[in-house]
């Protein structure tokens, strides 16, 4: 690894030299640890909720809202991928003033979009949760939880840009520390607000939302302060040398539009599928919520590594090192396959023991174990898909992933699940098999497209 030096004598990291695998791990492991911690928080969150008197109903309420939230949070991709490509490419080109401008534009865009979406969601929350399949007590809990989450959506989206910007300017360890700190704060606040410990208000399911919003908000504010104090490789100033403009901000959004459309397509398809799952009852919905969280451990690992990889690809191409970028991408895909095979075997073996931490109901346990074992079959393909998608994010070419995500969701998943569960009246297992099988098809198609190598020649 080589270094460049700022005027103040501070060394800037350069991961475009030396061992490729070490560069992937140095950029990816901090992000992976941060995302793993964040994912563990969501698992612990579900565990606390399962301790409430409502049990499966409480877990089902948050599971249903998660599918609604996914649609809204897909707007993160309207700015996120473009910010990764632009910030990391400018940093790789050693154009630090333009990187600073891109960071500031990203923060502003994310916060404004999040606040607007939060307002819309807050006003429509009752209708949204009803559409997603919530009924009776589940609907009430889901709506109460959702209102708080929507109020904090501006900071929720903007917080992810703090992590993105830190990775983009080769401060992955700092991003990791911030993610871990946010997760730890969330873990501490969760039981305080859910159960009313230490004199805090006892808010039940709503308390989990309050804890999340408070941790998002504090993390974002502190992160912005850190950038302005110059502790990162690129420092922010109230007035930078390169002025912010509509043109440069639009470039970030333009790059992200295909990814946003793909995310919207996939997340909205899951929202459409949710009522088809909900008809099987709260035990199935609760098992689905926890089972998906546990199964997504591997996904959180790869998304973390992939986010570091995306910035690394941008650094290499910004430094005109195409051959190294290709080798980096290939090794990352192989790494993802090995990780997901190992995690799949672990979850298949210990599925019942893991789910037993959440539920005592034998019926709910059975549903969850079956779900996890079916999804594990597609894990290696999920790993390859995520890594290829992050490679394309790093170069700012997001249309291929959009097309494949849309085709997977609307040409395969939704029609197949509707026919199998609503017309042919198969049980919920048909839904899990469809989800796993569609990923096998999508990942295979994406890999063959990736091998054509056009991504190496994209200009940002």
431-438 long-range contacts, CB within 8 A, separation 24+ = 431/273, 431/276, 431/277, 432/370, 432/371, 432/374, 432/375, 433/374, 435/375, 435/378, 436/374, 436/375, 436/377, 436/378, 437/378, 437/412, 438/408, 438/412, 438/413
Contact call for residues 308 and 27 (beta carbons, < 8 A) = yes
CB hemisphere CA count around 218 (13 angstroms): 15
Task: Report the alpha-carbon distance of residue 429 to residue 34 in Å, rounded.
Answer: 32
Nearest Cα residue to 416 out of 384, 380, 441: 441
Task: Report the alpha-carbon distance of residue 401 to residue 389 in Å, rounded.
Answer: 6
Backbone angles phi, psi at 321, to 5 degrees: -115, 70
pLDDT of residue 61: 92
> Residue 396 has which token pair?
């700012």
What pTM did the predictor assign?
Answer: 0.76
> Residue 200 has which token pair?
């805090």
> Residue 449 has which token pair?
């497209």
What distance lies between CA 436 and its chain's CA centroid? Answer: 19
Task: Report the alpha-carbon distance of residue 73 to residue 212 in Å, rounded.
Answer: 14
SS3 388: helix
Question: Which contiguous run of DSSP H or E holds residue 333?
Answer: helix 322-355
Task: Report the alpha-carbon distance of residue 114 to residue 154 in Å, rounded.
Answer: 4
Give per-residue pLDDT as tens, 276-288. 999 998 899 999 9
pLDDT of residue 13: 60
Per DSSP, 12 falls in state E
Residues of the chain with pLDDT under 50: 1-3, 6-7
Nearest Cα residue to 31 out of 162, 176, 170, 159: 176
Task: Report the alpha-carbon distance of residue 96 to residue 100 in Å, rounded.
Answer: 6
> Residue 305 has which token pair?
């590594």
- 425: Cβ–Cβ under 8 A, 6 or more apart, which residues? none
Nearest Cα residue to 216 out of 33, 27, 41, 31: 41
> What is the per-residue burial (b if ≥16 Cβ within 10 Å, else e) of 185-202?
bbbebbbbbbbeeeebee
| Residues facing residue 11 across a β-bridge | 5
Per DSSP, 422 falls in state I
> Residue 6 has which token pair?
């700022």
């Amino acid at each position: 690894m080589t270094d460049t030096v700022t005027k103040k004598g501070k060394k800037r990291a350069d991961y475009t030299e030396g061992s490729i695998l070490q560069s992937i791990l140095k950029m990816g492991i901090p992000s992976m640890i941060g995302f793993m911690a964040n994912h563990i928080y969501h698992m612990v969150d579900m565990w606390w909720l399962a301790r409430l008197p409502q049990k499966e109903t409480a877990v089902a309420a948050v599971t249903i809202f998660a599918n609604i939230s996914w649609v809204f949070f897909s707007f993160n991709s309207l700015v996120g991928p473009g910010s990764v490509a632009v910030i990391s490419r400018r940093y790789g080109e050693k154009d630090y003033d333009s990187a600073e401008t891109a960071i500031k534009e990203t923060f502003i865009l994310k916060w404004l979009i999040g606040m607007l979406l939060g307002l819309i969601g807050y006003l429509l929350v009752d209708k949204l949760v009803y559409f997603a399949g919530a009924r009776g007590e589940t609907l009430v809990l889901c709506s109460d939880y959702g209102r708080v989450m929507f109020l904090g959506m501006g900071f929720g989206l903007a917080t992810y840009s703090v992590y993105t910007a830190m990775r983009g300017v080769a401060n992955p360890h700092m991003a990791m520390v911030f993610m871990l700190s946010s997760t730890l704060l969330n873990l501490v606040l969760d039981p305080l607000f859910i159960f009313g410990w230490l004199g805090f208000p006892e808010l039940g399911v709503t308390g989990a939302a309050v804890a999340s919003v408070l941790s998002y908000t504090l993390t974002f504010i502190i992160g912005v302060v850190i950038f302005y104090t110059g502790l990162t490789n690129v420092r922010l100033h109230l007035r930078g040398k390169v002025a912010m403009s509509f043109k440069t901000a639009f470039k970030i959004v333009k790059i992200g539009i295909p990814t946003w459309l793909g995310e919207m397509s996939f997340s909205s398809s899951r929202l459409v599928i949710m009522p088809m799952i909900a008809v099987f009852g709260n035990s199935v919905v609760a098992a689905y919520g926890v089972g998906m969280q546990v199964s997504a451990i591997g996904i959180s690992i790869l998304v973390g590594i992939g986010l570091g990889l995306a910035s690394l690809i941008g650094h290499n191409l910004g430094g005109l090192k195409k051959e190294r970028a290709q080798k980096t991408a290939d090794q990352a895909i192989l790494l993802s396959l090995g990780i997901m095979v190992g995690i799949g075997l672990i979850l298949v073996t210990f599925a019942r023991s893991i789910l037993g931490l959440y539920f005592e109901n034998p019926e709910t346990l059975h549903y969850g174990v079956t779900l996890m074992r079916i999804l594990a079959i597609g894990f290696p393909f999920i790993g390859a898909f995520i890594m290829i998608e992050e490679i394309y994010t790093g170069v700012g070419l997001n249309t291929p992933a959009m097309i494949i995500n849309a085709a997977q969701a609307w040409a395969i998943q939704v029609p197949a699940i509707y026919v199998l569960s609503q017309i042919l009246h198969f049980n919920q297992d048909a839904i899990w098999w469809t989800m796993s099988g569609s990923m096998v098809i999508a990942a295979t198609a994406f890999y063959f497209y990736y091998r054509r190598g056009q991504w190496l020649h994209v200009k940002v």
